Amino acid sequence: MQVSLRQIAEAIETLAPPGLAESWDRSGLQVGDPEQTVTRAMVTLDPSLAAVAEARRAGAELLITHHPLLLQPLERIDLSSPPGAVVAELVRNGIALYAAHTNLDRAEGGVNDALAGLLHLTDVAPLGPGEAQVKVVVTVPVGYEGPVAEALFAAGAGRVGAYSRCSFAGRGAGTFFPGEGAAPFLGAVGRAERVAESRLEVLAPRTRLAAVRRALGEAHPYERPAVDVYDLGDAAATGALGRLGRLPESRPLGPWAAEVGRSLGASGVRWVGAADTLVRQVAVCGGSGAELWRLARSSGADVLVTGDLKYHTALDAVAAGFAVVDVGHGPSEACALPVLHDWLAGWVAERGAQLELVAFREPDPFHWNMP
């Protein structure tokens, strides 16, 4: 089965719904034609000239990155600038570019869950509020509850904390009168009908609402099912910006920070806090998450692992007696590559798609010299 860029994007967005992205983010299609056929795709962290060159050598028609190229709108495509040069190389070589950024950071099974796994954290929970929830309510003729519920579950509805496939159904009676032009599933045009129905209710993340409604329309036997959507004040236990977990045993900060750096392939690690401070509860946020240290501290964490720690943020954390480990922006998010690769590999295998996946990890641009 041949696949298009649009189909690949839809697969990625099943893992990382675009609605999870920060308001300032520019995830999604960056360069390319959604309808173009893709037979080989390369997964990498950054849309750099080196990555484009590697994609060209690999014969890839699509570059899938974590970081967007066009994070800031371009006023002009200046080919002497790094973004302009990348755009030119992509277009010149017929390579499309798609980015999954903060939506992949927040996604269940995304960057931060992978980061927590690499640090061997247990009892992993969200750090910060999750995504907004809605309740979807639909009436279904008795006997058809199962197929409709299954479609809703497959589209991402029915999750409550650690539980999945959650729903509620209550019996009642529905009435309708099919007019001219109707194609009723039950009854006949011009005759009033009364049908035994079930009221089916499920919770869903707001980011999955479009997919849930589409699945509902495809699975429901009625021509035009009646659907109600209610916004809820609470949030799901998914889609949070960071994660909070627990080490198997307490560790001294200094030696443990060095071990974290090795586990993540960082070229160097820096941290704030006393080297002999014992840490057990660990917060993580890939990328530039140092500003979450207050939230991490109030949530019971002993330390936050992230990248891009700024000087004054470090001073504030030290003054509060809180530890932060900075492994660098890239190493803290490099786990995005296997997340994307493995998700798409499963999607390819399930559909028998004609799509080959390759990966490219560019070296960390930072070098460290000891004084």
Residue 326: the pLDDT is: 98
Strands 40-44 and 62-65: parallel
Dump pLDDT digits (tens) for 116-138.
Answer: 999 999 999 999 877 788 999 99
Is residue 169 domain-shared with residue 231, that is, in the same domain? yes
Instruction: Dump pLDDT digits (tens) for 341-361.
Output: 999 999 999 999 999 999 999
Is the CB of residue 282 less than 8 Å from the CB of residue 121? Answer: yes
Q: Does residue 282 or residue 164 have the better pLDDT?
A: 282
Residue 367 is assigned to a structural domain of this protein: no
Share of the chain above pLDDT 90, in %: 69
Residue 174 located in a structural domain: yes
pLDDT band of 370, cuts 50, 70, 90: confident
User: What is this structure's pTM?
Assistant: 0.78
Tell me how many degrees the CA angle 64-66-70 measures, rounded to the nearest 5.
85
* Nearest alpha carbon to residue 287 among 267, 302, 308: 308
pLDDT at residue 79, as a whole number: 86
Angle at 101 between CA 340 and CA 322, to 5 degrees: 105
Contact between 138 and 226 under an 8 Å Cβ cutoff? The reply is yes
What would the pLDDT profile of 290-330 be if each residue is shown by its tens digit? 999 999 999 999 999 999 999 999 999 999 999 999 999 99
For residue 218, give its domain range.
Answer: 132-235
In this structure, the answer to whether residues 272 and 304 fall within a common structural domain is yes
**In this structure, are 140 and 228 located in the same domain?**
yes
Query: What's the whole-number mean pLDDT along residues 323-342?
Result: 95
CA distance 213 to 203: 12
Q: Kindly list the strands in the beta sheet with 28-31, ordered across the sheet, starting from the edge strand earlier in the chain.
A: 28-31, 96-99, 62-65, 40-44, 356-360
DSSP string for 2-33 = -EEHHHHHHHHHHHS-GGGS-TT---EEEES-
Query: 270 and 348: one domain?
Result: no
78 inside domain = yes
Q: How many domains does the chain have?
A: 3
Same domain, 230 and 143: yes
Same domain, 11 and 92: yes
Same domain, 325 and 280: yes
Please enumerate in sequence order all residues whose Cβ is within 8 A of that of 39, keeping only pairs 6 or more positions apart, or say none. 2, 61, 354, 355, 356
Task: Evaluate if residue 236 carries a pLDDT over 90.
Answer: no
pLDDT value for 235 = 62
| Domain contains 79 | yes
Are 267 and 282 members of one domain?
yes
In degrees, to the nearest 5, what angle opens at C-alpha 95 toward C-alphas 89 and 98?
110
Give percent of the chain with pLDDT exceeding 70: 98
- 81-118 tens-digit pLDDT: 888 999 999 999 999 999 999 999 998 899 999 999 99
Q: Note whether residue 179 is domain-resident.
A: yes
211 lies in the same domain as 249:
no
Q: What is the amino acid identity at position 315?
A: L
pLDDT digits (tens, 9 = 90+) for 53-63: 999 999 999 99
pLDDT-derived band at 162 (thresholds 50, 70, 90) equals low
The answer to the question of residue 366 being in a domain is no
Instruction: Write out pLDDT tens, residues 249-296.
Output: 999 999 999 999 999 999 999 999 999 999 999 999 999 999 999 999
Same domain assignment for residues 313 and 350: no
* Whether 160 and 118 share a structural domain: no
* Helix-then-strand count for the chain, H and E: 12, 17
Report the interhelical angle of 49-58 vs 82-92 (nearest 10°).
10
- What is the widest separation between alpha-carbon atoms in the chain? 89
Write the CATH number for 202: 3.30.70.120
What average pLDDT is seen over the chain? 91
In this prediction, residues 15-19 reach a mean pLDDT of: 86
Tell me: do 155 and 206 sit in the same domain.
yes
Residue 371 belongs to a domain: no
> Does residue 118 lie in a domain region?
yes
Q: Contact, 332 vs 115, CB < 8 A? A: yes
- Residue 30 belongs to a domain with what CATH number? 3.40.1390.30
CA distance 117 to 229: 35
Q: What is the DSSP string of 260-288?
A: HHHHTT-S--EEES-TT-EEEEEEE-SSS
